[in-house]
Structures are given as C-alpha cells and as structure tokens.
Amino acid sequence: MNHLISSQSKFLNKVITLLFITILISSCRTSKLPSDLTIDNAPTPPGTVKISNNLFFGTAEISNIMYLEFMYWTKQIYGSNSTEYTSIIPDTMVWSKLNQNYISHDTFYLRHFAYWHYPVVGISYEQAKAFSNWRSDRYMELLLIENGIIEPRTIIPKDSIFTTEKFFKGQYYGINPKQHGSIYPVYSLPDSATYQHIYVFADSLNAKNIKKCKKKACATFLITDYNCIENKTYRTKDFPYGPDPTMPTQCDHCPRNIIAHLKGNVREMTTTKGVYYGSSFIYSCKMPWNIFRKDIFEINSYTGFRNVCEYKQWKY
C-alpha cells in the first residue's frame, strides 16, 4: 500500500502543475492587459462568471486538483519542511472523524486522481484565504506573461517569486509597472450579500445553460439539491452518506458557466470566520439550503469554499 501511495505521489507531482496551468491558461487565453485596461473592460477571471459590474462568482467549489497545485507550488518553492508548506496541508483525517467506515477516504480523497474534481475539504479559514491570495498572484502573473510584460520562469528562487505587490512596487526584475496600468485581480471568499444575490441570479443562468448540456443526467447534480442525506445513492447503515459523500464540482458534458452546487454538496465558507452558506451532504433535504449557519467546527469533511473575484486599482 505504501508503495502504491508513493508511486501515485510521484506521478501526481509530474502532471499536476501541467494539468492545472493548462486549464488556467486555456480559460483566459483571450485575456488582455493593455495599458488602458479599466475595471469596466477587464476580462472575466478563470473559473468565474460575471454577475454584476466588477463582481465575478466562482462556478464551483475549489476542487482537490486546484488545491493540490497550490500545495505543490508552495512545496517546490519553500520546501517540504517549511512553515509555508506545512501550514497549508489539509486535515485528511476528517473522513474517519465523520465515520470510521470512511477511513479509506483519509488516504485517497485528496490525492487520488479519481477525486481530483471533487471539492477540497479539511480546510481551515486561514488556509482558504491563503489559497485565494495565491490564486490572485498566479492569475496576475499569467496575465502579464500572456501579454509579454514578464517572462515565464520555471525555476523560481523563493526570494524572486512573483507577487502583485512586488510588481506594482517595481521590485520584480526591474520592470516599471506604471507602463502597464494599475488594475489587478483579487480572488477572495464571498461575503453574505454576494451569496444572497447569487442564488437568484444562478437560477436564470443555469436554466439557460443547462440546455447546452449534452447529457442532462450529468448536469442535474450540479444545480439541484440532490446531494442531501435522504437522496444519497446506495446509502447504508455502514455508509450513511453513500460510498462517496461529495459529488464532482463539474460535468464534462456541460458548459463551464453553470454555477454548481449552491443547493448542496458541501457548505461553503464566507468572509466571516465561522459563518457558512448553504447545505451539505450531512443535512436533510427538508432543511432550507439558502441560509447561513454559525459553527465553530470549520475543519471537517462537509465544509469547502469557492472564490469570487474583483478587480482593484493599485494606488502608486
């Protein structure tokens, strides 16, 4: 078993960066960063849909593969024993803490490729914020690379990594940022007002886009309250939440602009620590899904998060 996990980890390390960055680049190949870029004409950030002026909502929960890229990047830059890396490792034992019969998920849920597109769990509020900050810098870096403003770098010393702050302060390889505008993207956790707005917006958006799905059955779990406890498929005494409690964050037969799982899968963090939006697989189908809950137990198998993004203007 240890040999299997070790081999799988080596394979993961070889493909994870290429896979995630390929997805990210293909999502924003048309993004432009002209010197006259404004908040009003800024491109839609990867993994989001525009819901109002300068507010872009994540189409799905942050997945295991996305968080693994964050971990892998941090490990490569700072080292496996660094505080930067060890502080972002999820609690993978949340599954056996939920129910001892899910102990195999402790080993495989985060890293096995079969679960790459499932929502990452076992994450703290601080870790979710750290991921959001990292994602903001990586998207800004990609925008600058695509527009020939900075060079892509595969070997990066930890004192030379790109950050938005370093760029605008003129501390990134001597580049003058004032020649390239002052707009930059910021990913973050959604606030309560955004969640209250989005579930109304999502109904009309999803009703339109689900018609484009090649397989309706695949699309159904993205936009319904299917993933609540009474509706779990193959639910048994030993596995009260089904063999796989969570569901995939996307459907390959549907467009990426469907806003998935607002009605259940994992509850989601908000900008307020300890306040969560929505339902999850542990809750009853009879409970309202569009509500906020307060809970001191944030690190568990039924809590995840997604991002919103907005553009801000750097003040020189």
Q: What is the pLDDT of residues 88-110, one digit of tens each?
A: 999 999 999 999 999 999 999 99
Residue 285 contacts residue 228 (beta carbons within 8 Å): yes
Residue 121 pLDDT > 50, yes or no? Answer: yes
Residue 194 pLDDT > 50, yes or no? Answer: yes
- Residue 313, CB-side half-sphere exposure with 13 Å CA sphere: 9
**Taking the model in full, what pTM does it have?**
0.89
Residue 153: predicted pLDDT: 85
Q: What's the one-letter identity of residue 123?
A: I
Per-residue pLDDT reduced to its tens digit, 25-54: 434 444 445 566 788 888 999 999 999 899
Neighbours of 148 (CB within 10 A): 8
Domains of the chain and any CATH numbers? 12-313 (3.90.1580)
Rounded to 10 degrees, the C-alpha dihedral 268/271/272/273 comes to 70
Per-residue pLDDT reduced to its tens digit, 257-314: 889 898 889 999 999 999 999 999 999 988 888 889 999 888 999 999 999 999 999 9
- On the 0-12 / 13-18 / 19+ scale of CB atoms within 10 A, 275 is middle
Q: Return d(Cα 292, Cα 203) in angstroms, integer.
A: 19
Task: Please report where in the chains the tokens 């996990």 appear, as a residue.
Answer: 5
Residue 59 contacts residue 257 (beta carbons within 8 Å): yes
Please name which of 251, 312, 258 lies closest in space to residue 55, comparing C-alpha atoms.
Answer: 312
